[in-house]
Chain A
Amino acid sequence: MMEKHIWILGDSPLVEEYTALFVQHEFETRVRINPEGAVSRVPLGARQFVESEQITSAVLELTALSQETKRKNLVLLDDIVPFHIPILSASVTATVAEQASWLKYPSRLIGIGAFPTLLDSGTIELVQSPTTGNPARVAAEQLVAMLEMHVALVEDSVGLVMPRILCSLINEACFALAEQLAEPEDIDTAMKLGTNYPCGPFEWAERIGAKHVLAVMKALHRFYEEDRYRSAPLLQMAALRNMSLRKMNG
């Protein structure tokens, strides 16, 4: 059984969400939130990660907003963490294959569908790229089991399954809102009552944050080079201004 030591690096609010889960499961948790994150305090129950720290059992790299920061974090971890320790990296805005190309020890890298709000669900998407070694996959599955969650193993692709579907829905709702199709509350109501969605697109956007939705759409656009994935101008504006999408139609 894996020891309960974990390092978590990345963006807010993902780091806070994952830290809470690991702390709840009695992991000794070391944390570092990226400087561009909105919150810089170390979450309750965790301690600040320092580079000279002792060996850990696994590392989570949860950066999705900046490719440059993600790359820096991964290269650093690859340097300072022994090569047999698995690195689970948020792979919603970059493929595992792309991230693996930055590392000296790519076989330890496995993708994780880390995305705000989805942790409540009980399922985590894991991504095994051709470069991922079996020991990393087994360790990642063991880690997810220790968190009492289920694994859905999917192939390497930007956006994975749930974040890609969810962000595309929100992006479409943003185009519709900009065209003044209806009030945002009415769009939420219509999607919940007309299709039995658990939340309306703007309710989701509120919880996820416009920046994360935009990061996924931009990553899909970059990866596929298709107009289909261009992000709605309203979404871009909301992310830039750090504003709620619901307040953007006035």
Chain B
Amino acid sequence: MIKSIGIVGAGTMGSGIAEVAALAGIATVLTDTSEPTLTAARERIAQSIKRAVGKKRVSASEAEEANARITLTPSLADLTACDLVVEAIIEDEQVKRDLFRQLDRMLAPHAILGSNTSSLSITALASATQRPDKVVGIHFFNPVPLMKLVEVVQGRHTSNDTALEAFELAQRLGKTAVLCKDTPGFIVNRIARPFYGEALRLLGEGVASAEQIDYIVKTEGGFKMGPFELMDLIGIDVNYAVTKSVYEQFAHEPRFRPHAIQKQMVDAGTLGRKAGRGFFDYAGAGPNPPKAQS
């Protein structure tokens, strides 16, 4: 039974994981090498918990206890007593492997190493440690406090016990866990690829405009967002990077081939909402709403 969690990386994902762990009554240590990032994380978590109190999802006393359960520290050494350490750092295999190698030397033999990677191989990360049976993917979705899904990814050497512990932990955090094998993109980031890829091809071939495609996907298919507004929200650079990663890991399988339109938009800096412009224009009066056609 996991009683204490360490999280490395205090960005949006790391602080979100810390928040849900603390709210679930688990002692939580959140670490980051950057002091300003830690300060921002403390503020982000406090605000998020406050909103949960406002929406009556959490009582005032639970909120106070949760905030008190989180230790923020710039030192990795403060993680040594944790039963599970989840990394939520930059999506770079070498950087993650270096971190796992370091944690492997510091942590107790029973401790589990979890990765919040969205597309890197858990098996590859595990090979940097002497405990590949205790390395598991625990992939949360953004924003962590709101999104219910956690993909528990079993690498080639991940033991069933480790996968089960991660699975049960996700449930304790109030999430719906799904178990999957360690293949590129896992479930969501793999199966969602045609949603974007085919939409981009339809646009490129002039079958329909981005507005039309979004309109059809929402009204005909019942999706909450069309592929183009969703790419704008995620960030066209982020979406392109995931597609490229899955494509390369699948040995250039044509089904995952990135589209030239996306690369050109990344090159042009039209990255979506965060840049004020992507497939739609967000400057000034806000995004152009997809138009109905009749």
Residues of A within 8 A of B (CB): 113, 118, 121-125, 141, 144-145, 150-155, 157, 160-162, 164-166, 168-169, 171-173, 175-176, 179-183, 186-187, 189-191, 193-199, 201, 226-228
- Interface size for B (C-beta < 8 A) is 47
Cβ contacts A to B, 9 pairs, < 8 Å: A151-B293, A152-B216, A164-B202, A173-B191, A176-B191, A183-B179, A190-B187, A194-B149, A194-B188
List, in ascending order, chain B residues with CB within 8 A of A187's CB.
Answer: 178, 187, 191
Interface locus among B11-19, B217-225, B264-272: B217-225
Question: Which B positions have Cβ atoms within 8 angstroms of A?
Answer: 141, 147-149, 151, 176, 178-181, 183, 186-188, 190-195, 197-199, 202, 205-208, 212-213, 215-217, 219-225, 227, 254-255, 257, 292-294
Greatest chain B CB density within 10 A among A123, A124, A125 is at A123
Which of chain A's residues have a CB closer than 8 A to the CB of B257? 228
Q: Which 3 A-B pairs have the closest CB atoms?
A: A168-B194, A193-B149, A194-B188
B178's nearest neighbour on chain A, judged by CB, is A186
Contacts of A160 in B (CB 8 A): 207
The chain B residue with its CB closest to the CB of A141 is B294
Which chain B residues lie closer than 8 Å to A154 at the CB level?
207-208, 212, 216
Q: Decide: B179 and A123 in contact? CB cutoff 8 A.
A: no
A121: B residues at CB distance < 8 A:
219-222
Residue contact A169 to B293, C-beta cutoff 8 Å: no
Query: Complex formed: what's the CA distance from A228 to B176 in Å?
Result: 32
Q: In angstroms, how far is the closest chain A Cβ from the Cβ of B15?
A: 20
Which of B178, B202, B223, B225 is in CB contact (< 8 Å) with A189? Answer: B178
**If the complex has contacts A189-B176, A190-B178, A191-B191, are A196 and B216 also in contact, measured as CB distance less than 8 A?**
no
Minimum distance in angstroms from B245 CB to a CB of chain A: 16
